[in-house]
Structures are given as structure tokens and as C-alpha cells.
Amino acid sequence: MNHFRFTKMAAILIGLTAISVSCSGDDNLPDPLMKPGIYAPYEIDWTAAADSASQTFIERFYCSEKRGDSEWVFSYTEYNKDNNSGNCYWQQAHAMAVMVEYYNRIKNSKPEEAATIRTYFKNWYDRKGNNYMSKHPEYGGSTGFGADWTDDVCWITIALLQIYEATGEKIYYETAKKNWEEIIWPRHEINPYGWLPGRLPDTGANECTNGPGCIVACMLTKYERDAGNEKKANEFLEAAYACFEQQHYVMEKDGTLGTVPLSYTQGTCMESGRLLWKLTGDKAYLLKAIQAARGQMTSVRMNTRYKGEMVMRNENTSYNDENNSIFHAVLFHWAARMIVDTGIDNHDSRIRGELYKYINRHASYYWTQGIDKNQGRWENSYFSPLCYEPREEGTGGSLGAYTSAAQAIESMCMIKDIKFD
């Protein structure tokens, strides 16, 4: 039935008009006796690298104390030195994903540090993730996490669900579910095709919104199904179908999405297709996810060449605005989930290895070329939007670029023990 639904949807969409709007120092230094890695002059200890990158990321960008205009949330600049993080909202979700990744790795081995991070989760939650629209009930909703930009709310909802998965604390799940039922999904009614609109009061849909929207719906489907609430699970699944339709419609032949493809829309299409395949058993969704993955890795619209191979391009819109540099983090995050899913080999025996190489390339360049780890220089060294290009010393850092680097390294730590021919 699900496969029929997918092919029927594809046929219907051929006749539709597109609605697309693209939217502490470190000891892990080279040992001349170590065997070189494929993208590094030495074998990287990925656990040590991830510990260093994530600990420093949290220290520098999470305001664990009052820093200017921010407290208990992530700031645009290190230690909120520019004091300009009042409207830093959707980026919170991607930064939180890194913190959750780190927490999941250390919660059993470092219980005291894990307890501290759980406090960070709760404090962040109490601050509504820095939502500047939380006091506007027409957008903020009863949870205070709503906003006029639908994709912002989707991302924050994914973050809440990830914190719930990591801690088991129901408050995060209950809030995420309310976000979906009260704020996110009702908006599909104003779109002529039943897709999620990008921003109220506009009705137009885009892949920036329907990608994360599909992931939320899929996650809620699984939770409700596991709890035995099949009726509610089916409601969420129907919504996931609708959100995936929009992504399918804007996918180009090369696997990229939209007129100006972005790494985070590629990543969300990968994960939403994979999750729908897991929920339904219909491989058509997985094959679309694989197509999006290859589009990310091979398209010149997504990459630039470095040392003869593809690396992600700088997606920032201007030199002074590095918000978009956080998009790479989304791709790294979801790609790791595809790499660890061995069931994919039954439908495509190569894609997981291809993604592994792509993530390894970026993480290795970040760690060996993207930041100065030498003693005495680490304090003033920050990642740049390009994995192979260090930021000029003394120019400070950005939440976007550092999030992407830390996520790449955390993702590599997650997949480091997987072997491919």
C-alpha cells in the first residue's frame, strides 16, 4: 500500500505547479610514527578529537552563565562577545544536536559532567530555546516555542525530541508533541497542496520546512506506535507522507533539492526518506533518500573541489553573516544515521561507504587543517565555514562554523569503527 501511495503521489505531482523557496589545548597532535590516514598526515583518535571539539564548543558558545544579553542558550559569537544573540533561535536546534551527541557518548562514563549537561538542557528549555517570539501567543502557542517561520519550530521540535531520547524525560516529548499538534501541523491547511508553509502569513511551501517537518512526523509516529497508540501514529504518518511529497516534487535529476540547494535540505531529505522506509518498509522512500545523498556528494551545486575531491561549498550569503555555515552540521548529523543503518545495504551496497568517505574527508580536514591546536594558540583559534581553511587568528568565531565542525567530528566518532572495503 505504501509503495502504491508513493507512485500515485509522484504521478499527481507531475501536473502541479512548483511552489519552491530555497531557502583548552589538545594532546591529539601528530606522532611521526603513526600511520597516516587517508585525509590526514596521522591517524586521528576520533574519541579524543570529539571530546576536545565538543567540550570547547559548549564552553565557548553555550551561555552557562549570564553573558551580555544571553543566559542558558547558545550565542552567535564566542562567549557572546558581540552581545547580539537576542534573535538567535533556529540555530539553537543545530547547536543543541551537537550537545546531545556529546551527552549520549559520555552519560555513562562521565556521570558528573552528564548531570551538568542535563541541567543545561533544562535551563535551555526554560528559556524556550531563546525564542524571541515566545511572548507572541499568535505564534508562540501554549508551549512558547512557536514562531512565524514554520521551519524554525520544526527544528526546535526535533531538538526537543532528541533531548527526550537522550534523557527519557517526558516533558520534552510532551512539549514537542504540542508543538506539532498546536503550532506546526495546523498550518498545512492554508497551503493548496496540504504541505507546510514556510512562513506565516504566506502560504507557499518549501523544502526547508517540509524536510524537518517530515522528520518530526516520523519520530512522533514511531513513539506513538511503540506506545501502542496506532490511531495517533497513523495520523502522524499521514502528515509525514504529505511533507515528503513536497521534497520529492522539488528534487532535480541530480538528487539536489530546489533552485538553490542547501546541505541542510539535502540532509533532511536523506533522513526523512530513511525514516519513512523504516516505518513503512517501502524502499521507494529510501531510494529517494539515497538519491539526495548522492546529490549532496557529487553535485557541483553543492560542492567545490579541493585536492581533486568534492568538499562542501561555503553556503553563507555574505562575508559578515555566517548563519548559513551551520547548514553543514545538519548534513553531517543525518548522514551518520544513514551510515550506521546496515539494512540499507540490501538496497544499495555502496552508499554507506560513499557517505563514510565524504564525512571522513570533512572531519579530517576540520581537525588537521581547520583549527590551530598548538599550545598557546588554541584559545584564539576558531573553525571557518570551509573545512580545509583555518580562520584568521584573532578574528573570533561563529556559532555556525563551529557547530558544523564539532558535528562533523562527533559524526566521525560515531562511525569510526565501521569498516568498508
Question: Does 130 fall in a domain?
Answer: yes
Which residue bears the cell 598526515? 41
Question: Domain for residue 9, yes or no?
Answer: no
Report the C-alpha gap between 308 and 304 in whole angstroms. Answer: 9
Say which residue, 10 or 23, is predicted with more confidence. 23
Bridge partners, residue 382, by sequence: none
- pLDDT score at 131: 95
Q: Which domain holds residue 174?
A: 52-415
Separation of alpha carbons 91 and 191, rounded Å: 26
Q: Cα–Cα distance between 342 and 353 in angstroms, integer?
A: 11
Residue 39 lies in a domain: no
Of 401, 415, 391, give the one whose Cα is nearest residue 312: 401
Mean pLDDT of 67-82: 95
Helices (H), 168-302: 170-178, 207-226, 230-250, 263-280, 283-298
What pTM was estimated for this model as a whole? 0.91
Residue 4: the pLDDT is 30
Give residue-wise pLDDT tens across range 370-402.
988 777 777 788 999 999 998 888 888 999 999
- Residue 177: is its pLDDT beyond 80? yes
In this predicted structure, what is the pLDDT of residue 134? 75
Can you give the pLDDT at residue 135?
Answer: 73
Let me know if residue 11 belongs to a domain. no
Distance CA 235, CA 4 (A): 18
C-alpha span between 105 and 85 (Å, rounded): 28
Position 372 scores a pLDDT of 84
DSSP annotation of 84 reads: -
Pick from 138-142, 146-150, 244-248, 344-348: least confident? 138-142
Please give the full DSSP string across 386-415, using - where no structure is assigned: STT-PPPTTS---HHHHHHHHHHHHHHHHH
C-alpha cell at 103: 551527552
**For residue 205, pLDDT beyond 70:** yes
14 lies in a domain? no
DSSP tag of 86: T
pLDDT score, position 300: 94
Compute the CA torsion angle 143, 145, 151, 155 (nearest 10 deg): -100
CA-based radius of gyration for the chain = 20
Q: What does the block give as the cell for 163? A: 533531548
The domain tally of the chain equals 1
pLDDT in tens, 282-333: 999 999 999 999 999 999 999 999 999 999 999 987 555 688 999 999 999 9
Comparing C-alpha atoms, which of 335, 21, 324 is closest to residue 195? 21
User: What is the four-CA torsion angle of 360, 365, 366, 370, rounded to 10 degrees?
Assistant: 180
Q: How many secondary structure helices (H) and strands (E) does the chain include?
A: 14, 2
* pLDDT for 339 beyond 90: yes
Measured between alpha carbons, how far is 318 from 212 in angstroms, rounded to an integer? Answer: 25
AA identity, residue 212: P
Asked whether residue 358 is assigned to any structural domain, the reply reads: yes
Report which secondary-structure segment, H or E, holds 369.
helix 351-369
Q: Tell me the CATH number at 123.
A: 1.50.10.20
Element (H, E) at 157: helix 150-167
Cα–Cα distance, 340 to 346 (Å, whole number): 14
Residue 347 belongs to a domain:
yes
Q: Is residue 41 part of a domain?
A: no
